[in-house]
Amino acid sequence: MFVAKNAWSALRRHPWRTVLTIVVSLLVTLWSAFGVAVLHEYDEAHGARYDQLTPLGVFTPSDLSKARAQGDNADSTKNYMTWDDYNGIGAAANEKNATFGYTLIDSVPVRGGDKLKPVAGAQQPDAGTDETGGDFTLQSFLSEQAVPANSYGTYRIVDGKGLGYEDVTRHDLIMSKALADKNGIKVGDEVTLGNAKDAKTTYTYTVCGLYEYTAPAEGAAPFAKDVPDNVLYTTYYSFAADDLDPLDASGWQRPDVNVVFMFQGVEQYEAFKQAVKDVKLPSGYRLSSPTIDQYERSLEPLDSLASTMRLTLILLWSIGGALLLALTLLQALPRREEIGFALQVGVTKGRLAWQFMNEILWPTLLGAAIGLIIGCCTANPLAGNFVDGHSFTLPAALVWNLIWISAAGCLVLAAIAGVRVAAFPTAQLFASPYLAHDDAKASENDTDEGDDDAIGHSDTDDEAESTKDAESTADTTSTTDATSTKKEQA
């Protein structure tokens, strides 16, 4: 009771110092929790989570913008990948025992006729449909797994429903909400599309849903059919039912075949990449993984934040630790008289040291506890403002590590305050307050005696000289008297 009461009184006597200690402790632990959460996610994202990716592999032009610039030249379709090319790739991979699965994306340009107008955004909006094959692109997916490899970006359904890959009898498509709004189309309406080469050949689809891009592809759109909002998506079964994938077609009727290779891990993808590296491909084509590319793009803001947090944590722990140490010393060092008085009235050093330690423990532990709670609860939403697609939730093991480290830091500061009492020299309590004055006076007296001795030595020398003078005078007198006597006798 004595210790708690006195510790509480000491904290109340210095409210600003107490509040400052709580605030510094709170900020240090709060930002420590945030920084540790960011660095933990960085390690996970570059380690286990990267290895667990199920990447897709596609063969696409190295410069997609350059390839799309040929969109008004029907002869450019001769550069498309063919089924023979893909068969050669598959054979090379099987020869090296590379494991893979596959799905398919197939697309052709189509006309919209007079009723369907494209969304603006093309660099050459006045290009004729006879040169480009149409103002729209009809792109088909064999399965849901092919959608992430869409070169126009990722999208989500905002109205209606998505494509039905399991029901081969459906003959529908999804279009962008921007395109639907411009043409007054709603879910359930039918749209008529025209063949790229023969406008009289048409295809009718039912609009089953509207989409919006969540991450549209970057790059310019030379022609209307290259604008992402002008892309219409359907299933490969509907695409094939309209005979849009002939093997012997030419010009804009020739489909752009894109076989999407699927892998169960990054290691499988790398093995496949090595297996097919010597396969001859059409000019400008290369193997890439949209899954890995997209994942690495998502890591860029995380890497930047993690780099910043490493420097921030070093400064935080250095400055915060120095401030807490300064506050601890300010609490303990100037109290010499208080310690001496307490010891004189019978308080033991142990109880007094425990009081000093409590004065540090209470505010630092309180600030650390509040900071850890706030930091652990807000790390994920706070970091989410800077980085998308990552989770910054601290696992229990790291939370306990932060708790133990914070508690150890508080105990070290408290121990420093306790050492101040333990190191107090008790012998000073019984020293005479006049001891220093007496010692000074004694020193002064010793100096005076030394001077007197010097003076005494000088007087003796004078007496000796006087004696010598007297003896010399006496001798002279005696000689004179003897001389006078001798003269009288003569």
d(C-alpha 401, C-alpha 412), whole Å: 16
The one-character DSSP state at 182 is H
**Per-residue b or e along 62-97, where b marks 16 or more CB atoms closer than 10 Å to that residue's CB:** eeeeebbbebeebeebeebbeeebbeebbebbeeee
The per-residue pLDDT for 440 is: 56
Classified as helix, coil or strand, 305 is helix
- The answer on pLDDT for 246 being more than 80 is yes
The per-residue pLDDT for 344 is: 80
Please give the share of the chain, as a percent, with pLDDT higher than 70.
Answer: 87
Q: Give kind and range of the element (H or E) at residue 191.
A: strand 190-194
d(C-alpha 446, C-alpha 469), whole Å: 36
Amino acid, res. 63: D
Mean pLDDT over residues 52-62, rounded?
Answer: 91
- Would you say 134 and 194 are in contact if contact means Cβ atoms under 8 Å apart? yes
The per-residue pLDDT for 39 is: 94
**Nearest by Cα to 60 from 273, 269, 258, 268:** 258
d(C-alpha 331, C-alpha 347), whole Å: 19
- The answer on pLDDT for 267 being more than 50 is yes
d(C-alpha 78, C-alpha 256), whole Å: 10
**pLDDT bucket at 444, cuts 50 / 70 / 90:** low
d(C-alpha 243, C-alpha 202), whole Å: 11
- The answer on pLDDT for 469 being more than 60 is no
Could you tell me how far CA 39 lies from the centroid of its own chain? 6
Mean pLDDT over residues 30-41, rounded?
Answer: 94
**Nearest by Cα to 381 from 393, 369, 397, 373:** 393
The per-residue pLDDT for 482 is: 38
The per-residue pLDDT for 89 is: 94
The per-residue pLDDT for 456 is: 45
**pLDDT bucket at 242, cuts 50 / 70 / 90:** very high
* Predicted model pTM: 0.73
Using alpha carbons only, give the angle 270, 273, 274 rounded to the nearest 5 degrees. Answer: 90
- Would you say 112 and 134 are in contact if contact means Cβ atoms under 8 Å apart? yes
d(C-alpha 184, C-alpha 119), whole Å: 13
**pLDDT bucket at 166, cuts 50 / 70 / 90:** confident
Report the helix count and the strand count for the chain, using DSSP H and E.
14, 10
pLDDT tens sequence across 370-429: 999 999 999 988 888 888 878 888 899 999 999 999 999 999 999 998 888 888 887 666
pLDDT tens sequence across 67-122: 888 888 999 899 899 999 999 999 999 999 999 999 999 999 999 977 899 999 88
Amino acid, res. 427: A
Side-chain half-sphere of 392: how many Cα atoms within 13 Å? 26
**Two tokens at 295?**
């994942």
State the Rg of the chain over Cα.
Answer: 48
Please tell me which residue, 461 or 146, carries the higher pLDDT value: 146
Average pLDDT of the residues of the chain: 85
Side-chain half-sphere of 403: how many Cα atoms within 13 Å? 9
**Two tokens at 429?**
């309590």
- The answer on pLDDT for 468 being more than 50 is no
- Residue 394: CB atoms within 10 Å: 22
- Would you say 179 and 110 are in contact if contact means Cβ atoms under 8 Å apart? no
